């Protein structure tokens, strides 16, 4: 039996491209269950434009990928993507903050620097604050067209129709 650390487990991700007036387009990998909230935040708070050519990906730890490379390499487009495990010790409030970010291999060091720039100098010097790089790969599912959109489970259309029907019943 394999002894897999929880952060080595596979993760479903959405691959998308973002752009802004100040920066060239870049690729982002967002956890599937957090995608809609993330999209709302980056568009309303940061003014980014999220392009609609979304793809579903599966991130797997490097060891898992190597063990099953024959299968994964036939399943879709493969890209080296690291998982950054961020651990920040907030000594003043007595707790740890932990989060994961998924970044293309070539952007790992740049993103680490950006993430650390959001911490205080005291936190950066704390021996318990760190960013662990967990190597892995994404296997991208086929692209979705407008005729076959990627469904993320948060459509408002049916909800609005039900609300309108309920309002008509109340008026009658």
Could you tell me the residue range of the domain that residue 131 belongs to?
6-171
* 1 Cβ contact list (under 8 Å, min separation 6): none
- Min mean pLDDT across 19-28, 131-140, 161-170 is at 161-170
Q: Is residue 73 part of a domain?
A: yes
Confidence of residue 164 (pLDDT cuts 50, 70, 90): low
Q: Is residue 1 part of a domain?
A: no
Total domains present in the chain: 1
Confidence of residue 56 (pLDDT cuts 50, 70, 90): very high
Mean pLDDT of 11-35: 92
Q: Is residue 52 part of a domain?
A: yes
pLDDT at 16: 94
Confidence of residue 65 (pLDDT cuts 50, 70, 90): very high
Q: Is residue 153 part of a domain?
A: yes
Q: Is residue 118 part of a domain?
A: yes
pLDDT at 63: 93
pLDDT for 111 beyond 60: yes
User: How many angstroms separate the CA atoms of 15 and 25, rounded?
Assistant: 13
Q: In Å, what is the CA distance from 64 to each residue of 13, 76, 137, 141, 150?
A: 17, 16, 9, 18, 26
Q: Is residue 75 part of a domain?
A: yes
The token pair that represents 59 in the structure block: 């991130």
**DSSP, res 111:** H
Q: Is residue 144 part of a domain?
A: yes
Higher pLDDT, 12 or 168: 12
Confidence of residue 152 (pLDDT cuts 50, 70, 90): low
């Amino acid at each position: 039996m394999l002894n897999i650390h929880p952060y080595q487990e596979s993760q479903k991700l959405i691959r998308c491209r973002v752009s802004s007036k100040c920066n060239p387009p870049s690729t982002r990998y967002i956890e599937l269950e957090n995608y809609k909230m993330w999209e709302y935040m980056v568009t309303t708070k940061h003014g980014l434009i999220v392009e609609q050519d979304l793809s579903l990906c599966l991130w797997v730890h490097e060891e898992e990928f190597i063990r099953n490379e024959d299968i994964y390499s036939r399943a879709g487009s493969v890209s080296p993507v690291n998982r950054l495990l961020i651990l920040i010790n907030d000594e003043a409030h007595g707790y740890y903050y932990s989060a994961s970010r998924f970044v293309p291999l070539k952007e790992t060091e740049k993103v680490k620097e950006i993430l650390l720039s959001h911490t205080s100098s005291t936190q950066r010097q704390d021996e318990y604050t760190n960013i662990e790089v967990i190597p892995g790969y994404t296997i991208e599912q086929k692209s979705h067209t407008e005729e076959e959109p990627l469904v993320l489970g948060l459509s408002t259309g049916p909800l609005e129709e039900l609300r309108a029907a309920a309002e008509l019943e109340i008026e009658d």
